[in-house]
């Protein structure tokens, strides 16, 4: 039985999922939740969280920075 690289890679990601905690981040630029300006991200790591600024790494490895002049409204849920 030959083990392929794809199977090893899948097993490795499954193994890492036991140790990495992901969060679901929902950001709204105004005080109204559920309208068109809301964005949702799956976050692996937060670097900085402030009322007007948030910086984090997504599940895909991209680093995202969000700024709001009047402040950001955001919700964080652990997945």
Domain spans, the chain: 21-78
Q: Are 27 and 54 in contact, with CB atoms under 8 Å apart?
A: yes
- In sequence order, which residues have a C-beta less than 8 Å from that of residue 20 and are 6 or more positions away? 44
| Structure token pair of residue 44 | 């692996």
C-alpha span between 48 and 15 (Å, rounded): 27
- In sequence order, which residues have a C-beta less than 8 Å from that of residue 57 and are 6 or more positions away? 43, 44, 45, 47, 63, 64
Tens of pLDDT along 1-25?
577 888 998 898 789 888 888 899 9
The pLDDT value given to residue 61: 87
Task: Quote the percentage of the chain above a pLDDT of 70.
Answer: 97
Global confidence as pTM:
0.71
Mean local confidence (pLDDT), 28-41: 80
């Amino acid at each position: 039985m030959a083990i392929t690289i794809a199977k090893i890679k899948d097993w490795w990601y499954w193994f890492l999922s036991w140790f990495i905690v992901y969060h679901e981040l929902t950001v709204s630029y105004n005080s109204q939740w559920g309208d068109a300006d809301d964005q949702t991200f799956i976050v692996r790591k937060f670097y900085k969280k402030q009322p007007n600024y948030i910086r984090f790494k997504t599940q895909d490895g991209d680093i995202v920075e969000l700024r709001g002049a009047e402040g950001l409204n955001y919700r964080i849920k652990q997945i």
